[in-house]
């Protein structure tokens, strides 16, 4: 119940604060003036596009299974709104803050907020089959429990490249985080993140995708450095009254994982889309 309450409060606040009239930005190859006249296939691709020209608010719940020696389950809720900012006729700035609420199972069970991450992408304001964006990413030591955060201030570069053609929307997003301040009694942060995406989007609004989120911890021993999931998601984009929504569900097996990480996980995501 506490998880549900937190999600409802955060989503409500974000939707109010991030009303589409606050941002006028690039039109992607599939973005149109009204959600009612936007094809479901295009909206489906827009739900995955990190450079789309309107606000969207994805809320994702992930359950990890077979965690640790006691094979427990852990929970995580992520809210990562996309906020486009118009910088003129040629460029846009995309802001993507990422909020996480986590339950880590015993031993050492903990519940609370993780460190806050925020990414910024500078991207050309144009419609194109291939589109790129690059900028900085920051991580702030805002975790509510010591076990859920790094205790360090971190930053680094981030970049993404997308391909949008016909029913296909493919992309790759990456960043490098390195700590530069904070508690020296905590370990340093040196992490690479790689997220390839391959999706096929049907005209009906249904879609299938593979979206593994891989990490490499350069401070860990080689046997515990990589986290590599493998799986797939099924999604559907639809209109609920005047609100455009995308619902996605999938399961992934961690074929490579550090000690204490889940053997596999299932995720469910609801994305609120606000095409202008």
- What domains are defined for the chain? 2-274 (2.40.160.40)
CA dihedral of residues 208, 196, 73, 256 (deg, nearest 10)? 120
What pLDDT does 15 receive?
A: 42
Q: Which segments in the chain show pLDDT lower than 50?
A: 1-37
CA dihedral of residues 275, 242, 235, 94 (deg, nearest 10)? 20
What pLDDT does 259 receive?
A: 87
What pLDDT does 21 receive?
A: 35
Where do the DSSP E strands lie in the chain? 55-67, 72-79, 83-86, 91-104, 110-113, 116-124, 130-140, 152-165, 168-182, 190-201, 206-210, 214-217, 226-240, 243-256, 264-274
CA distance 199 to 248: 12
Single pTM value for the model: 0.84
What pLDDT does 9 receive?
A: 40
CA distance 234 to 254: 18
CA distance 194 to 60: 18
What pLDDT does 111 receive?
A: 93
% of the chain with per-residue pLDDT over 70:
86
CA distance 102 to 7: 12
What pLDDT does 38 receive?
A: 56
From 209, 259, 258, select the one nearest 234 (Cα to Cα): 209
What pLDDT does 33 receive?
A: 39
């Amino acid at each position: 119940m506490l998880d549900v309450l937190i999600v409802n409060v955060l989503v409500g606040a974000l939707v109010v604060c991030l009303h589409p009239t606050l941002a006028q930005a690039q039109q992607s190859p599939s973005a149109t003036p009204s959600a009612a006249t936007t094809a479901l296939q295009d909206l489906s691709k827009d739900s995955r596009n990190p450079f789309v020209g309107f606000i969207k608010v994805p809320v994702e719940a992930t359950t990890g299974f077979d965690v640790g020696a006691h094979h427990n389950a852990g929970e995580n809720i992520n809210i990562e709104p996309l906020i486009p900012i118009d910088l003129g006729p040629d460029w846009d700035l995309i802001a993507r803050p990422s909020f996480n609420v986590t339950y880590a199972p015993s031993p050492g069970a903990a519940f609370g907020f993780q460190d806050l991450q925020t990414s910024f992408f500078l991207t050309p304001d144009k419609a194109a089959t291939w589109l790129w964006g690059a900028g900085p990413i920051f991580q702030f030591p805002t975790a509510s429990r010591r076990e859920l955060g790094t205790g360090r201030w971190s930053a680094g570069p981030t970049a993404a490249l997308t391909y949008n053609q016909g029913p296909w929307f493919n992309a790759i997003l990456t960043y490098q985080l390195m700590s530069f301040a904070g508690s020296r009694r905590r370990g340093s942060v040196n992490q690479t993140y790689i997220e390839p995406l391959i999706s096929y989007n049907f005209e009906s609004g249904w879609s299938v995708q593979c979206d593994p989120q891989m990490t490499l911890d350069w401070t860990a021993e080689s046997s515990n450095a990589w986290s590599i999931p493998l799986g797939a998601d099924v999604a559907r984009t639809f209109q609920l009254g005047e609100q455009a929504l995308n619902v996605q569900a999938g399961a992934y097996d961690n074929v490579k994982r550090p000690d204490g990480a889940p053997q596999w996980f299932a995720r469910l995501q609801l994305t609120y889309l606000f095409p202008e």
